[in-house]
Structure 1
Amino acid sequence: MSRKRGLFFVITGATFWGIGGTVSKKLFQQYSIDVDWLVTTRLLIAGFLLLTIQLIGKDRSQVFGIWKNKETAVPLIIYGLVGMLAVQYTYMAAIQHGNAAVATLLQYLAPVIIIIYLVLSKQSALVKRDWFIVTLALIGCFFLLTNGSISKLSVSTLAIVWGILSGLAAAFYTLYAIRLLKQFNSLVIVGWAMIIGGCALSFIHPPWQMDFKSLPLEAYFYLIFVIIFGTMIAFWFYIKSLQGLSAKESSLLGSLEPLSAVLTTVFWLKDRFGFFQWVGTVCIIGVVFILALSKDSTDVTNKIAENEKSFEV
């Protein structure tokens, strides 16, 4: 793949994910869409589409081959429930109780959580750059959530709790999948993880239990965007971009996710952001840029790769 195509895929994918969060908030606010139903539906449909893409490709045997071995089947189920489902649900719940901008930005605490995990598990030392990243992220969260005033939080407590849980889930999601991704195509892992998570949540809110007749045509377009563009294409395009760009470049441009979420939340949904919330936004996006541009051995992605044997599946 050419570099230009790689840039197109990562920019488009990252932008779709951020906008998808804002569109989800629109569905929650204006059409009273249940968060459980939306997460269930988007996981099942997006997972099916990703596996279909893999079946059309060259390594179609991987789609069902992953279930033939207990050593990969059991971790896949855990990944689908504790990783994929947790990431998707906590993110959507944070949007429902707050807004897409805050939810997306809090989810970007995941790299900081990974650094802390690697240090506490004695797999890496905490260097000066890591101290700076953690401090910058904490300052960013403080301004984002308080708008500079300790006495009054700018978003609800539930939004904060779900947002932090989203960051924790994203960190687990990143670390736990390492060995599986070494053996199978990422589309297979993520596709099945989405279906597993969607099936599990179906027991709480089956996707067919929905008053579809009450929804206007506009709501259906929003649903299609969230499921197809904000979930399936967003992930698929990011993976495709790695064929033309380095992982660092894709990660750097992936910071367009929180940026697009913030911009669409403010200018489309008309949610007001105070001056200090913009300062917090810049701080957290700065964390993503620093991690993506890091070139030494303390880079988070390098740490994970170097220590992958020590992670238990």
Structure 2
Amino acid sequence: MKNKGVFMVLGAAVCWGLSGSAAQLFFQHFQSTPGLLVAVRLLSAGILMIVLQCLVKGTGSAFSVWSHRKDRITLLIFGILGMLGVQYTFFAAIHYGNAATATLLQFLGPVFIIVFVSMRLRQRPGGKELIAFVLALVGIFFMTTGGSVSTLSISVEAFVWGILSALAAAFYTLYPRKLLAVWGPVPVVGWSMVIGGVGLSMFNPPWHFDWSQGSLSLYALLLFIVIIGTIIPFYLFLDSLRFVTPAQASILSSAEPLTAVLVGIAFLQTAMDAVQLIGSLCIIVAVVVLTFRPARKHSVGGKANDAGL
């Protein structure tokens, strides 16, 4: 059963990595903004997830999250700042850069989580956390400068959106813990997608997009992003937690940036020199170091669960 969970996490991570590459192709070939793509993705995936929840577990399980005022407010905040925040910043980073760098920068989310937990517990990070933090900084430096302080290897916009994406991912991970524990992941994720999609549609109406451009290839890419890049990996990842621990899932999710980098180099002509690849590896190792650690009594890592990890 553990092997089943491992393959489910790896499958989810690969799907997410491919989704970023599909979004990069979308921006390269069609006249679209990140806001429009994210609005379509969130609305489509969110509605499908709610419908599936109704079919599998009944209407009550899908709509009961709206029955308590406090939970409604929490869900609305999570939908706008969490789900919409992490999706929009990630796709904006792809739009201004590429899928590989956007995925790697978003992968710094656990580093920001450790910083937040350290501040909340008023304790200095342990040795492994400090090593991971240094590795992350080195990785960012190599990725963004190519080893030279005089030039940036990626645009300022791509870097800023990528860092914002990592911050949003940290908030997305920490904020909805109680909501998920009470109502389950599928209704919370599905409704937060719908909330984020509706909110973004007010500023980026999908009906203002020229849907005639690209015909079949346009719809094929959108379908891939919604089904393969959103619904399937969410189901695989959430269901895998029955068989593997969250720490193991976090380590296995390193397949996402690896997929994005390999696909970018092989098929999307993403240019990365040896220094940038070393930087990418540093970021991946930093996250593995953070997640693969024994519980400790008197360190940030040991008390992380009490602070929201």
Q: Which amino acid in structure 1 is aligned with residue 239 of structure 2?
A: K
Equivalent residue runs for 1:83-232 within 5 Å: 83-122=82-121, 124-232=123-231
1:235-285 superposed Cα distances (whole Å, 9 cap, x missing partner): 111111112222222211111010001111111101110111000011011
Q: 1:69 to 1:105 in 2, by over 3 A?
A: same
Q: Kindly provide the amino acid, as one letter, of the partner of residue 287 in structure 2.
A: V
State the shift of 1:128 in Å.
Answer: 1.4
- Pair 1:76 & 2:50 matched: no
Q: RMSD of the TM alignment (CA)?
A: 1.8
Q: Distance in 2 between matches of 1:133 and 1:292?
A: 10
CA change 1:123–1:46 in 2 (3 A) is: farther
Counterpart of 1:178, as a letter, is R
| Cα distance in 2 between the residues matched to 1:196 and 1:77 | 7
- Conservation of the 8 A alpha-carbon contact between 2:125 and 2:300: no
Say whether the 8 Å CA contact 2:93–2:161 is kept in structure 1.
Answer: yes
Contact 2:131 2:286 in 1 (8 A): no
Ranges in structure 2 where 5+ consecutive residues have no aligned partner: none
AA matched with 2:61: Q
Q: Which runs of 5+ in 1 are unaligned?
A: none
Q: What CA distance in whole angstroms lies between the structure 2 residues aligned with 1:297 and 1:221?
A: 48
Shift of 1:177: 0.7
The count of residues paired between Structure 1 and Structure 2 equals 308
Counterpart amino acid of residue 305 in structure 1: N
Partner of 2:251: 252
| Cα deviation code 1:187-214 (max 9, x no counterpart) | 1111111000000001011122221112
**CA separation in 1, counterparts of 2:32 and 2:97?**
15
Amino acid at match of 2:136: A
Conserved 8 A contact 2:126-2:301:
no
Structure 1 segments of 4+ aligned residues over 4 angstroms from their partners: 298-302
**1:42 and 1:300, CA in 2 relative to 1: closer, same or farther beyond 3 A?**
farther
Identity level (%): 40
Task: Give me the whole-angstrom Cα distance separating, in 2, the residues matched to 1:301 and 1:209.
Answer: 48
Aligned 8 A contact 2:295 2:301 in 1: no
